[in-house]
């Protein structure tokens, strides 16, 4: 229904060159990310209608988020998840665009010895507490965060309980 | 006058659950605020890693006592996305009907608490009485009253009982009549309106940037609803509107929730009348594949999301839960600064706090 609605708008609208008509919002985001960060962005995939996935190097994460907000209309950061694997942590950002009805899953990897990524709480205020939560439960540090303190657990707690080596 | 910090909570009638709001006041005016959460942290994300995919469903019910069905449904959609399970159509209609009943029950509980906070004690009693109608319907459908354990990966647990459609239609008729009464009661009350209008104003841009979702975001004039924007289940088949109100104050958020209850009645009517016959559950595989799945739904309080990572065993490797209120409450400084201490109750009450999902 959503797709049909948007398709109709495009047909009724003013005439545009054929390349623009065939370009879906997903393709536009992929193209913009690849043009801006040709080496940092890998593994693009359209998961389903309106949902994209991409991996990005952690050094370019902040700039990519900035670009997504300012140029691609992603107004809302839905969720930040930290996942522990054998040799690395993955921080997964789900970023939403209300106007284009898109969801981008941006995955960045950080090594176990130095689990840190740049904080994006200056881009989306909603990231502030979610980054604190990821730090609290998983021990991933966020550089330049305004107040990186424990949030759900007491401030004198010693462990990061969502790590796999923590056994209740 | 010297500024000072005041604790509202953890034991305070405003908190509705166990959390603490620290406010810095200059006389009666709030100059800074800091919510403190975590009192109810049970480690549900960690618990889920030690349970099989099916065993996680009852614990996700415990995320929110006001809207437990929304959370177990969200978990099931995320697990279905991971496993690639197709849900039978009848199950989707049953889920939508149950979810909308849950939404009305949850909004009525909010209204009850909100009215009591703002001095309209009769509102508490009326709302709780009418919430019972939908709790009874859900009990007939699922067998329980608060934590339903109803959705399953690949469908729902039971089919609808006989006369479920008839009872649902009656309940909707009753509710719409009662909603008009509520409107007269609250909007005719000078006290209620004085404490709501122009209080806690949140602009459209701030609301989006701070990650506020659900009725509070639509109360700031942003017309977005996951049921419309990224439709799941059979919501594309339903004729309804995402209620929104442009003012961004407490009254606006109240108005959105009231309108949403009308829309929910409309959806329940369509769901129970259009419901096709057939299977209501398919068997899902015991082991999930290696991969990830996401679920994204419009919870009664906002955008609920789950990210689930499977490693090929029968237990989720990682389950991340996005709670709408956890993010909304972090916007408290933006909402409160500049208002008086007496407005705190209305502003924070208007967010529909639920500590179960905030702390997880």
3-state DSSP of chain A: CHHHHHHHHHHHCCCCCHHHHHCCHHHHHHHHHHHHCCCCEEEEEEEECCEEEEEECHHHHHHHHHHHHHHHCCCEEEEEEEEECCCEEEEEEEEEECCCCEEEEEEEEEECCCCEEECCCCCCCCHHHHHHHHHHHHCCEEECCCCCCCCCCCCCCCCCCCCCCCCC
Count CB neighbours of B149 within 10 A: 17
- Domain ranges for chain B, please list them: 35-359
pLDDT-based confidence at A166, cuts 50/70/90? Answer: confident
pLDDT in tens, B45-60: 999 999 999 999 999 9
Instruction: Taking residues A146-162, report their average pLDDT.
Output: 89
Are B211 and A1 within 8 A, CB to CB? no
Task: Provide the 10 A C-beta neighbour count for residue A163.
Answer: 16
> With an 8 Å Cβ cutoff, are A1 and B326 in contact?
no
pLDDT (0 to 100) of residue B307: 92
Q: How many angstroms separate the CA atoms of B18 and B354, rounded? A: 9
**Residue of A2, A127, A137 with shortest CB distance to B231:** A2
Question: How does residue B103 score in pLDDT terms, banded at 50, 70 and 90?
Answer: very high
Which of B236, B305, B334 is opposite residue A94, by nearest beta carbon? B305
Q: Do B296 and A78 touch (CB under 8 A)?
A: yes
| pLDDT(A55) > 70 | yes
At CB < 8 Å, which residues of chain B contact A?
37-38, 41, 43, 45-46, 206, 208-213, 222, 224, 228-231, 236, 294, 296, 303, 305, 307, 309, 317-318, 320, 322, 326-327, 330-331, 334, 359-360
CA distance A103 to chain B (A): 9
> Which chain B residue is nearest to residue A98, measuring alpha carbons?
B224
**pLDDT at position B74 over 70:** yes
Closest Cα of chain A to B224: distance in Å?
7
Ranges A46-55, B125-134, B299-308: which has the least confidence: A46-55
Say yes or no for a CB contact (<8 Å) between B229 and A137. no
CA angle A152, A156, A160 (to 5 degrees): 55
Residues B322, B87 contacting (CB under 8 angstroms): no
Yes or no, beta carbons of A79 and B322 under 8 Å apart: yes
List of domains in chain A: 2-143 (3.30.460.80)
Confidence of residue B11 (pLDDT cuts 50, 70, 90): confident
Q: Three-class SS of residue B318?
A: strand
Q: How do residues A108-137 score in pLDDT, each as one tens digit?
A: 999 988 898 999 989 998 899 999 999 999
Cβ separation of B38 and A129 shorter than 8 Å?
A: no
Q: Kindly determine whether residue B294 and residue A105, on different chains, have CB atoms separated by under 8 Å.
A: yes
Taking an 8 Å cut-off on Cβ atoms, the answer to whether B327 and A51 are in contact is: no
What confidence category does residue A22 fall into, taking pLDDT thresholds of 50, 70 and 90? low
Q: Check CB contact under 8 Å for A154 and B38.
A: yes
pLDDT attached to residue A80: 92
Q: How far is B345 from chain A (nearest CA, A)?
A: 22
A contacts of B224 (beta carbons < 8 Å): 98
Phi-psi region of B16 (alpha: psi -120 to 50; beta: other; left: phi over 0): left
Q: What average pLDDT does range A77-105 have in this prediction? A: 89
Closest CA to B167 of B273, B277, B280: B273
pLDDT of residue A8 exceeding 50, the answer is no
Cβ–Cβ gap B326/A129 under 8 Å: yes
Q: Is B238 helix (H, G, I), strand (E, B) or coil?
A: coil
Query: Distance from B216 to chain A by nearest Cα, in Å?
Result: 14
Q: What is the pTM of this model?
A: 0.88
| Residue bearing the bigger pLDDT, B150 or B1 | B150
* Whole-number percent of chain A with pLDDT over 70: 85
Q: Which residues contact A8 (CB under 8 A, 6 or more apart)?
A: none
Summarised one tens digit per residue, pLDDT across range B318-338 is 999 999 999 999 888 888 988
pLDDT tops 60 at residue A18: no
| A162:B46 CB<8 A | yes
Angle CA B149–B151–B154, to nearest 5 = 140
Q: Domain B35-359: which CATH class?
A: mainly alpha
Residue B288 above 60 pLDDT?
yes
In angstroms, the separation between the Cα of residue B260 and the nearest Cα of chain A is 20
Q: How far is B35 from chain A (nearest CA, A)?
A: 10
């Amino acid at each position: 229904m959503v797709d049909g609605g948007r398709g109709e708008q495009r047909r009724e609208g003013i005439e545009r060159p054929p390349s623009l008509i065939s370009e879906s919002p997903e393709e536009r985001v992929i193209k913009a990310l690849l043009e801006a960060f040709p080496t940092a962005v890998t593994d693009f995939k359209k998961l389903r209608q309106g949902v994209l996935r991409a991996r990005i190097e952690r050094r370019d994460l902040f700039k990519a988020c900035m670009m997504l907000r300012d140029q691609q209309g992603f107004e809302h950061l839905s969720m930040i998840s930290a996942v522990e694997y054998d040799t690395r942590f993955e921080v997964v950002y789900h970023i939403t665009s209300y106007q284009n009805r898109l969801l981008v899953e941006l995955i960045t990897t950080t090594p176990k010895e130095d689990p840190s990524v740049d904080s994006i709480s200056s881009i989306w205020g909603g990231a502030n507490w979610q980054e604190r939560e990821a730090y609290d439960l998983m021990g991933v540090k966020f550089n330049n965060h305004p107040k990186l303190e424990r949030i759900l657990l007491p401030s004198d707690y010693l462990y990061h309980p969502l790590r796999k080596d923590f056994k209740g | 006058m010297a500024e000072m910090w005041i604790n509202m909570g953890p034991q305070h009638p405003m908190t509705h659950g166990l959390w603490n709001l620290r406010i810095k006041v200059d006389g009666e005016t709030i100059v800074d605020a800091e919510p403190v959460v975590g009192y109810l942290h049970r480690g549900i994300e960690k618990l889920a890693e030690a349970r099989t995919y099916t065993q996680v469903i009852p614990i996700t019910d415990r995320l929110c006592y006001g809207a437990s069905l929304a959370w177990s449904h969200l978990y099931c959609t995320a697990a279905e996305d991971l496993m690639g399970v197709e849900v039978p159509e009848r199950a989707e209609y049953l889920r939508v009907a149950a979810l909308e009943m849950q939404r009305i029950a949850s909004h009525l509980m909010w209204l009850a608490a909100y009215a009591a906070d703002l001095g309209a004690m009769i509102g508490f009693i009326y709302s709780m009485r009418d919430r019972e109608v939908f709790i009874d319907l859900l009990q007939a459908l699922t067998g329980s009253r608060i934590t339903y354990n109803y959705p399953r990966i690949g469908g729902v647990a039971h089919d609808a009982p006989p006369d479920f459609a008839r009872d649902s239609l009656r309940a909707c008729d009753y509710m719409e009549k009662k909603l008009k009464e509520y409107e007269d009661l609250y909007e005719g009350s000078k006290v209620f309106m004085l404490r709501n209008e122009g209080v806690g104003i949140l602009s459209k841009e701030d609301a989006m940037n701070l990650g506020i979702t659900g009725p509070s975001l639509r109360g700031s004039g942003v017309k977005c609803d996951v049921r419309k924007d990224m439709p799941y289940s059979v919501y594309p088949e339903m004729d309804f509107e995402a209620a929104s109100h442009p003012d961004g104050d407490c009254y606006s958020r109240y108005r959105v929730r009231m309108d949403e209850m009308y829309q929910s009645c409309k959806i329940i009517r369509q769901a129970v009348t259009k419901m096709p016959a057939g299977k209501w559950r398919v068997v899902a595989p015991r082991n999930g594949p290696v991969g990830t799945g996401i679920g994204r739904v419009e919870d009664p309080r906002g955008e609920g999301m789950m990210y689930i990572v499977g490693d090929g065993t029968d237990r989720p490797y990682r389950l991340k839960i996005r709670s709408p209120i956890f993010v909304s409450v972090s916007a408290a400084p933006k909402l409160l600064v500049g208002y008086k201490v007496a407005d705190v109750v209305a502003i924070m009450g208007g967010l529909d706090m639920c500590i179960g999902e905030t702390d997880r």
